[in-house]
């Protein structure tokens, strides 16, 4: 009796649930410390103490009717102003509170902007590899997801294919850098070329093409790599941000959309996003945590923790003989499967108690994702398992 | 460039915004204390201290990786178990954590269950007067909202009309008791008759008809009036609950769905709701506040505060000569407009600095909603304005 649209998703969800059950089963047999679960993007680093301190101070000193009450659907005005100021000081932008819409995480924000923009049949382009949930977000509004094939050499967007695939029905493009699952950061050169292509196509077709930049990993960039702020390169850019990873608050569901005045029909888009936030049932981003993050905009997560994991994992996997793109950001490593069938490779990995996710999930078969937001011990202890896995496939040790 | 669906909503939202602006304008001229804003359902009673104490204790003593982390999309298992136990002890039900899905408020919950159930064209019946947002929630999934006309004598559901309107395309019925905007509580007799009609129609058409009970005001019932727990009367009942009013946490966006095992295709519906919660972008209900409300399930809001407002308002309006249904629950009073055009009456009321909402918004023209979740002073001070308004329409003082 459930909706037709949900039937396939429910069937698929059972598969994912089965994977979780398998993890639990393995833990029961071998002990949790001997099962190496690299499947989830759940930060292992605790939120900075400043978040706790801010939340407690707000609870102790501010009026509960305000702290827990309704505010504008777009969020507290002072929170939005604080976010705008922070962006302006870091990126040289000139946003005001009117350009900021506080959202229920980045997932909420992406749904809000897609609801605001899409008519049934509108095309949304994504670059493989991409976060698999985009499929559902676009389908929610009867959009048509089109996947630009990966450039598996560099994992920078494949702009030649992109240019060909852009058409008069293209309403939006979603990009995600630092990228989940590849860990690649899109270079400024890539961004400039991407913007130039979009501008040319907008002119050619007389349409508006919105670039939606999904940026939960913005703050997770290593070795000082430059992560361009996209509103500065292309007028029709909407940024979706989340504090899930930058402040380790994934369960709190707090993020924001940036809706610049340079958008085509900016006033309508801002109003539509505001209405969409209300009618999709979010109503507003959770209130206490809005006030708390506004006081923690200069806080940083412990990037050294992830960086140590990254380096140890890369060294270890490289020594085993595996191939991969060296990750510059986020906390994912995208490994080349030694066999074409990435699902089969993941199944084999599980025999060594290694839980990893097939690249097919991200529109990029032949690769697998390893989420290294785990304890350092898990990285170190898993190495003997990766060694056995490499040996099974006859990879040459380095 | 925004979606066609959003265009009408954006236009309409400007009207609402204009109303807010008017309120601000009036406050600037006459002083906020001389403007009587009865337009919003934002509780004026602070959250119980226990919520603050629970949140602080959790922040101070529990692992932040757990407190702010991802959990199952349906919520923390122990939170869901606590909610199930609380319901079982209060209503003699026998739910487990598997029947509870923590949601981003009741608005989030309603969207989740409608997404899980509706195919395009499926009909959803609501009883006038009803919370106007149901229109959008049903339209989000291309459902067709059908409004059962009000019984303006009692404001109990018009079951004769309901029975006629139920058809083979009816997938769901939304009810809301205590009711926004009428303040009426649906009696046990009403509920039993409603259930009997639904069961008969399910048999007649060989379909499943889901009864969605939207219950943010369950705990706001006066004079010991009985509010039936609907899962006990009809097998296909889904309950949507919110802590927004019962614990004065509307900004926190925390509630839950009850999905009983007695539902047709219960396992699929529970799984679909779980998936819908994820893909609509909620992902999960906010984590800290989940843990906090689980410790406050026996807490109550200050119902005496609302009750005093209710009695003073009813006495005052009655003395002015206005007609209305005496509210038994929630914090709304539904006043009969002395003229047929409720919007015109609201415009006139505004001339006396009284901000009230036309019944047309709730599918019930000829009435207006007065939200009395305001300060007691506002109730008392507004009476001279209501007197003038009544005098303008020549109502006879009592």
Q: Which residues of A touch B111 (CB under 8 A)?
A: 280-281
- β-bridge pairing A210-214 and A170-175: parallel
Residue A304 pLDDT greater than 90, yes or no:
yes
Helices A376-392 and A342-351 cross at an angle (nearest 10°) of: 110
Over residues A75-104, mean pLDDT: 98
pLDDT at B13: 79
Read off the pLDDT of each residue in A369-374 and give the average, rounded to a whole number. Answer: 95
State yes or no: pLDDT of A19 exceeds 80.
Answer: no
> In angstroms, what CA-CA distances link A219 with A259, A306, A317, A330, B343?
20, 12, 25, 8, 51
B45 vs A contacts (CB less than 8 Å): 65
pLDDT at B15 over 80: no
- Which residue in A112, A265, A281 is closest to B108 by CB distance? A281
The CA–CA distances, whole Å, from A68 to B70, B248, B371 equal: 22, 7, 19
Query: Bridge-partner residues for B354, per DSSP?
Result: B36
Residue A57: closest C-alpha in chain B = B56
Continuous H helices in chain B = 4-30, 49-61, 64-67, 77-91, 105-117, 133-140, 159-165, 188-205, 266-279, 287-294, 303-320, 342-351, 376-392
Q: B258 near A288, Cβ under 8 Å?
A: no
Q: What order do you get walking across the sheet with B357-358 strand by strand?
A: B332-336, B367-371, B357-358
Residue B211 belongs to what H/E stretch?
strand B210-214
The single residue listed with the structure tokens 């509210």 is B327
Whether the CB of B107 is below 8 Å from some CB of chain A: the reply is yes
Q: CB–CB of B68 and A250 under 8 A?
A: yes
- Residues of chain B found within 8 Å of residue A119, distances taken between Cβ atoms: 3-5
Among candidate residues A41, A111, A30, A81, the one with its CA nearest the CA of residue A278: A111
Q: How many angstroms away from the CA of A65 is the closest CA of chain B?
A: 5
Confirm or reject contact between B375 and chain A (CB < 8 A): no
pLDDT for res B144: 98
Query: pLDDT value at position A12?
Result: 81
Asked if the model's pLDDT at residue A44 lies above 90, the reply is no
A354-366 per-position pLDDT tens digit:
999 999 999 999 9
Closest alpha carbon to B66 in B83, B48, B78: B78
pLDDT above 80 for B351: yes
* Nearest residue in chain A measured CA to CA from B12: A275
Please report which helix (H) or strand (E) contains residue B100, including its range. Answer: strand B100-103
Distance between CA A266 and CA A275 in Å, rounded?
Answer: 14
- Name A358's Cβ contacts closer than 8 Å, sequence gap at least 6: A342, A343, A345, A346, A365, A368, A369
Within A31-93, residue ranges assigned H as helices are 49-61, 64-67, 77-91
Tell me the shortest Cα–Cα distance from A148 to chain B, in angstroms.
22
Whether the per-residue pLDDT at A259 is higher than 80: the answer is: yes
Structural tokens at position A11: 């069937």
Rounded to an integer, the average pLDDT of A285-312 is 97
For residue A67, what is the nearest residue in chain B, using CA coordinates? B251
For the segment A139-186, what is each residue's pLDDT rounded down to a tens digit? 999 999 999 999 999 999 999 999 999 999 999 999 999 999 999 999
The one-character DSSP state at A103 is E
**In angstroms, what separates the C-alpha of A166 from chain B's closest C-alpha?**
17
- For tokens 């006081």, the residue is A295
| Confidence tier at B129 by pLDDT (50, 70, 90) | very high
Q: Is the pLDDT of residue B1 over 90?
A: no
A107 in contact with chain B, both atoms CB, cutoff 8 A? yes
B60-75 pLDDT, tens digit each: 999 999 999 999 999 9
Whole-Å CA distances, A43 to A83, A105, A107: 23, 15, 17
Give the relative orientation of helices A287-294 and A77-91 as an angle to the nearest 10 degrees.
40
Enter the ipTM: 0.96
The tokens for A59 are 């609870």
Q: Given CB atoms, is A163 within the 8 Å cutoff of chain B?
A: no
Closest CA to B182 of B224, B126, B265: B126
pLDDT digits (tens, 9 = 90+) for B282-325: 999 999 999 999 999 999 999 999 999 999 999 999 999 999 99
Tell me the pLDDT tens digit for each residue of B79-112: 999 999 999 999 999 999 999 999 999 999 999 9
**pLDDT value at residue A106:** 98
Question: Is the pLDDT reported for residue B234 higher than 90?
Answer: yes
Q: Which residues contact A24 (CB under 8 A, 6 or more apart)?
A: none
Q: Is the pLDDT of residue B25 over 80?
A: yes
Distance in angstroms (rounded) separating the CA atoms of residues A323 and A396: 11
What confidence tier does A243 reach under pLDDT thresholds 50, 70, 90?
A: very high
* Residues found in chain B: 398
Q: What pLDDT does residue A267 have?
A: 96
Backbone angles phi, psi at B289, to 5 degrees: -75, -25
User: Per-residue pLDDT for A132 more than 80?
Assistant: yes
Residues of B with Cβ-Cβ distance to A105 under 8 angstroms: 281, 283
Rounded mean pLDDT of chain A?
96
A3–B141: do the CB atoms touch at under 8 Å?
yes
Q: Which stretches does DSSP call E strand in A92-200?
A: 100-103, 123-127, 144-148, 170-175
Biggest alpha carbon distance in chain B? 65
- The verdict on a CB contact (< 8 Å) between B279 and A9 is yes
Please compute the mean of the pLDDT values over residues A268-286 and round it to a whole number: 97
Bond preceding residue B181 cis, omega within 30 of 0: yes
Contact between B80 and B97 under an 8 Å Cβ cutoff? The reply is yes
- A4 lies within 8 A of chain B by CB: yes
CB atoms within 10 A of CB B47: 27
pLDDT bin (cut points 50, 70, 90) of residue B18 is confident
pLDDT > 90: what percent of chain A? 91
3-state secondary structure of B258: strand
Length of chain A in residues, anyone? 398
What residues of chain B lie within 8 A of the CB of A43, using their CB? 65, 69
The answer for residues whose C-beta is within 8 angstroms of residue A166's C-beta and 6 or more apart is A125, A197, A198, A201, A209
Q: Does B137 touch chain A (CB under 8 A)?
A: yes
Q: Does A287 lie at the interface with B, CB-CB under 8 angstroms?
A: yes
Å between B164 CA and nearest CA of chain A: 23
Q: Three-state DSSP class for A127?
A: strand
Buried b vs exposed e over B78-98: b needs ≥16 C-beta within 10 Å? ebbbbbbeebeeeeebebebb
DSSP string, B266-320: HHHHHHHHHHHHHHTT--SS-HHHHHHHHT-TT----HHHHHHHHHHHHHHHHHH
Interface of A with B in 201-240 (CB under 8 A): 208, 210
Q: Report yes or no: A327 and A333 within 8 Å, Cβ to Cβ.
A: yes
Which of B340, B249, B342 has the alpha carbon at shortest distance from B297? Answer: B249
Residues of A with CB below 8 A from B279's CB? 9, 133, 136-137, 140
Residue A204: both structure tokens together: 């050619």
Distance between B120 CA and the closest CA of chain A, angstroms: 9
Which pLDDT belongs to residue A40?
85
Question: Which residues have a Cβ under 8 Å from the Cβ of A226 and sit 6 or more positions away?
Answer: A185, A187, A188
The Cα–Cα gap between A356 and A349 comes to 8
Is any Cβ of chain A less than 8 angstroms from the Cβ of B328?
no
Please judge whether B111 and A43 are an interchain contact, meaning their C-beta atoms are less than 8 angstroms apart: no
Q: Is A383 left (phi over 0), alpha (psi -120 to 50) or beta?
A: alpha
Confidence of residue B117 (pLDDT cuts 50, 70, 90): very high
Judged against a pLDDT cut of 90, whether residue A330 lies above it is answered with yes
As a whole number of angstroms, the distance between CA A188 and CA A208 comes to 23
Contacts of residue B70 in chain A, CB cutoff 8 Å? 40, 42, 250-251
Q: What pLDDT is stored for residue A189 in this prediction?
A: 98
Provide, as residue numbers in chain B, all residues whose Cβ is less than 8 Å from the Cβ of A109: 281
What digits encode the pLDDT tens for the residues A306-329?
999 999 999 999 999 999 999 999
Task: pLDDT band for B371, please (50, 70, 90 cuts).
Answer: very high
Nearest CA in chain A to B289: A252
The 3-state DSSP class for residue A186 equals: coil
- Taking only the tens place, the pLDDT of each residue in B159-206 is 999 999 999 999 999 999 999 999 999 999 999 999 999 999 999 999
What six digits make up the tokens of B286? Answer: 């906010």
pLDDT in tens, B30-51: 988 899 999 888 888 999 999 9
The rounded mean pLDDT for chain B is: 96
Nearest CB to B3: which of A42, A117, A284?
A117
Inform me whether the pLDDT recorded for A21 exceeds 80. Answer: no
């Amino acid at each position: 009796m459930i909706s037709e649209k949900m039937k396939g998703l429910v069937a698929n969800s059972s598969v994912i649930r089965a994977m979780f059950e398998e993890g639990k089963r393995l833990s029961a047999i071998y002990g949790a410390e001997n099962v190496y679960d690299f499947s989830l993007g759940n930060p292992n680093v605790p939120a900075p103490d400043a978040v706790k301190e801010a939340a407690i101070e707000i609870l102790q000193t501010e009026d509960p009717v305000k702290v827990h009450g309704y505010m504008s659907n777009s969020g507290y005005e002072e929170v939005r102003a604080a976010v705008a100021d922070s962006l302006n000081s870091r990126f040289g932008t000139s946003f005001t509170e009117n350009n900021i819409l506080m959202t229920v995480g980045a997932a909420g924000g992406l749904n809000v902007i897609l609801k605001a923009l899409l008519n049934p049949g509108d095309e949304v382009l994504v670059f493989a590899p991409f976060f698999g949930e985009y499929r559902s977000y676009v389908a929610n509004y009867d959009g048509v997801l089109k996947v630009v094939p990966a450039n598996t050499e560099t994992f920078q967007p494949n702009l030649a294919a992109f240019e060909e695939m852009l058409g008069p029905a293209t309403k939006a493009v979603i990009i995600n850098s630092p990228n989940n699952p590849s860990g690649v950061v899109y270079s400024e050169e890539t961004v400039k070329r991407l913007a130039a292509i979009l501008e040319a196509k907008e002119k050619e077709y007389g349409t508006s093409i919105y670039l939606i930049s999904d940026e939960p990993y913005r703050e997770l960039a290593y070795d000082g790599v430059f992560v361009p702020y996209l509103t500065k390169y292309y007028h029709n850019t909407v940024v979706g941000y989340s504090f899930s990873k930058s402040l380790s608050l994934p369960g709190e569901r707090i993020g924001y959309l940036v809706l610049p005045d340079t958008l085509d029909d900016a006033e309508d888009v801002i109003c539509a996003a505001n209405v969409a936030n209300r009618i999709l049932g979010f109503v507003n981003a959770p209130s206490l945590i809005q006030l708390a993050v506004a006081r923690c905009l200069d806080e940083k997560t412990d990037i050294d923790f992830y960086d140590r994991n990254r380096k140890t994992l890369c060294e270890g996997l490289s020594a085993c003989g595996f191939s991969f793109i060296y990750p510059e950001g986020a906390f994912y490593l995208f490994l080349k499967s030694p066999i074409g069938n990435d699902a089969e490779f993941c199944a084999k990995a599980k025999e060594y108690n290694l839980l990893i996710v097939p690249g097919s999930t991200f529109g990029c078969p032949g690769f697998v994702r390893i989420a290294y937001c785990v304890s350092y011990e898990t990285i170190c202890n898993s190495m003997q398992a990766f060694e056995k896995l490499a040996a099974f496939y006859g990879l040459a040790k380095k």
